[in-house]
């Protein structure tokens, strides 16, 4: 097991401050302290080499959990093991086998080319010249960095910078990689590239990857398994496909007809859309075969398509508090 988390809790004590003058003055004399439970009883394990997505709305506790896994935060209670180490002991050996990339925060030196940051990391991680050269060549090829290496970081685009961030984080060949929103703010094309890189890197090096993202594309492209968290609680741990089945007991049936007959569709399913000869129905999973064959018999069908509901919809459902998915 590469990552093992048991009954993890994290509480923060925060000052509650009222807005405005009176609130500011009052907080000088009397501080109201409230305890916020950021993570409540989370347990999971991730075998080495697996790539798992961590999903949840803003403030769900994803980043707090990742920070605890990387040893940046001390858990209030519970236990964590990452590759056999206890992260918050902050041992140098542990830091050498893991890496953290935060999409919102940069580790590259702003005014000079990324190559200089790479060299600093080479010294810090004590990477041998040969190993460094080899890893760098590989990363340059995979991420297409050739021309970026010598340009000052400040002149790079967000996407180019993100690719360099990934390279900087992977130079010491970590066994465990934490990615906190690696594709945030990137255009669709670059997202796709970064995604493909992460997938390929994971396959080739058997690196354990835990990633958080707001983009479903990242998740569907990279991970079979997802962890869904909301209000600090783990709501779901399992395969992405299973989640879809559990939460959305229907499929989308799209039928292209020569003309739309003026009938009630209730006998087939719930009507979503009907225009320009295309009818979209929400049909319960167990009826999908029956409904589609009836369509083929009764209507002049030009094209028929069965789809799962969009992932965003599934996740929105999962985030709803009463969803009993686990």
Partner 1 sequence: MKRHWRIFCEFFRTCLVEELEYRSEFLGNFLSSLFGIGMAILTIQVFFYQTDNLGGWKYADVLLLLGIFNTLQGLIDFALRPNMSRLLQHIRMGTFDYVLTKPVDSMFYVSFRHLVFWRLIDVLLGIGLIIYALIQKHYMPTIMDAVMFFISIGSSLVLIYALWMMLMTTSFWVIRIDDLSFVFNSFFETTRFPIGMYRGWLRIVLTYILPAAFITSTPALSLLGKWNGMTTILSVVLAGLFLWISRRFWRYALRSYTSASS
State the residues that interact with partner 1 by CB under 8 A: 12-13, 38, 64, 67, 70-74, 88, 90, 92-93, 95-96, 98-100, 102, 104-107, 109, 111-112, 116-117, 119-120, 122-126, 152
Least CB distance from residue 80 to partner 1, whole Å? 13
CB nearer to partner 1: give 96 or 205.
96
Of 126 and 322, nearer to partner 1 (C-beta) is 126
Kindly list the distances between the CA atom of residue 42 and the CA atoms of 9, 38, 195, in Å, as whole numbers in the listed order: 7, 11, 27
Phi, psi of 99 (to 5 degrees): -150, 150
Q: How far is the CB of 273 from partner 1 (least distance, A)?
A: 44
* Closest distance to partner 1 from the beta carbon of 185 (Å): 16
3-state secondary structure string across 129-154: HHHHHHHHHHHHHHHCCCCCCCCCHH
Residues 142 and 163: their CA atoms lie apart, in Å, by 10
Taking the complex as a whole, the smallest distance from the CB of residue 149 to partner 1 amounts, in Å, to 13
Tell whether the torsion through CA atoms of 185, 189, 190 and 192 is positive or negative: positive
Q: Which is nearer to partner 1, 154 or 203 (CB)?
A: 154
With b meaning 16 or more CB within 10 Å and e meaning fewer, what string describes 191-211? bebbbebbbebbeeeebbbbb
Nearest distance, CB of residue 12 and partner 1, angstroms: 6
Q: In what order do the strands lie in the sheet with 98-102?
A: 98-102, 176-180, 208-212, 51-55, 225-230, 233-239
Least Å distance, CB 155 to partner 1, is 11
Beta carbon nearer to partner 1, 64 or 244:
64
Report the alpha-carbon distance of residue 308 to residue 280 in Å, rounded: 12
Q: Closer to partner 1 at the Cβ: 230 or 292?
A: 230
For 1, 8, 40, 80, 280, the CA distances from 5, given in Å and listed in that order, are 10, 7, 12, 5, 43
Q: Whose Cβ is closer to partner 1: residue 154's or residue 289's?
A: 154
């Amino acid at each position: 097991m590469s990552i093992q988390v048991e009954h993890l809790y994290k509480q923060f004590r925060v000052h509650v401050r009222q807005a405005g003058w009176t609130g500011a003055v009052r907080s000088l004399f009397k501080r109201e302290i409230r305890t916020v439970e950021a993570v409540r009883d989370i347990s999971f394990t991730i075998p080495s080499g697996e790539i798992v997505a961590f999903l949840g709305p803003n403030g769900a506790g994803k980043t707090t959990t990742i920070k605890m896994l990387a040893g940046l935060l001390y858990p209030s209670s519970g236990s964590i093991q990452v590759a056999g180490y206890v992260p918050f002991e902050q041992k140098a050996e542990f830091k050498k086998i893991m890496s953290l990339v935060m999409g919102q925060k940069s580790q590259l030196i702003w005014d000079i080319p990324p190559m200089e940051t790479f060299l600093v990391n080479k010294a810090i991680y004590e990477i041998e010249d040969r190993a460094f050269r080899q890893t760098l060549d590989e990363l340059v090829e995979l991420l297409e960095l050739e021309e970026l290496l010598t340009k000052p970081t400040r002149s790079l685009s967000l996407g180019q910078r993100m690719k360099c961030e990934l390279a900087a984080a992977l130079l010491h060949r970590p066994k465990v990689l934490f990615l906190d929103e690696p594709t945030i703010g990137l255009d669709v094309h670059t997202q796709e590239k970064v995604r493909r890189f992460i997938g390929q890197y994971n396959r080739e090096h058997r690196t354990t990857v835990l990633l958080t993202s707001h983009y479903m594309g990242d998740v569907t492209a990279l991970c079979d398994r997802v962890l869904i968290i909301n209000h600090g609680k783990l709501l779901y741990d399992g395969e992405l496909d299973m989640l879809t089945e559990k939460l959305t007991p229907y499929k989308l049936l799209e039928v292209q007809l020569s003309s739309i007959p003026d009938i009630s569709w209730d006998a087939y399913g719930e009507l979503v859309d009907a225009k320009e000869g295309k009818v979209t129905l929400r049909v319960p999973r167990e009826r999908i075969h029956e409904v589609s064959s009836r369509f083929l018999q009764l209507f002049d069908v030009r094209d028929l398509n069965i789809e799962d509901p969009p992932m965003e919809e599934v996740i929105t459902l999962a985030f709803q508090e009463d969803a009993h998915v686990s």
